[in-house]
Amino acid sequence: MPNQICHFQLVAPDPAKTREFLARVFNWSFRDDPAHHYTVIHTGADPNGGIVRTQPDGRPTCLIYVAVDDLEETLAKVAAAGGQVLQPASGIEGIGTWAIVADPDGVPIGVFTPD
């Protein structure tokens, strides 16, 4: 099935506390990625996820990422459907390109195209 959920990201004010909670409740494992200020979550099956610290003015949230074949085409579809681009396309070397969009009500959704 195309356009499946491929990743999730927890945006938390205290990533260490979130990590400890997830380990205790779900027995997930983790790998720190200090270069990107990110903690990768290994759930044991796809999709896996990550934890990142909230921005000072941000709120905790859980963001899903949907795999798409063509990121630029998807961003155009978002605009045509009444949504908006919250975070323009950005690449992660050797991994892929991502962006964050919002539906017409402002609900954020990540979109991702692997390299």
In three state form, how does the secondary structure of the chain look?
Answer: CCCCEEEEEEEECCHHHHHHHHHHHHCCEEEEEHHHCEEEEECCCCCEEEEEECCCCCCCEEEEEEECCCHHHHHHHHHHCCCEEEEEEEEECCCEEEEEEECCCCCEEEEEEEC
What digits encode the pLDDT tens for the residues 50-61? 999 998 888 899
Structural domain 68-115, CATH architecture: Roll (3.10)
* pTM for the whole structure: 0.86
- Structural class in CATH, domain 1-64: alpha beta
What digits encode the pLDDT tens for the residues 67-93? 999 999 999 999 999 999 999 999 998
Q: Name beta bridge partners: 86.
A: none
What digits encode the pLDDT tens for the residues 19-32? 999 999 999 999 99
Pairing of strands 48-53, 5-12: parallel
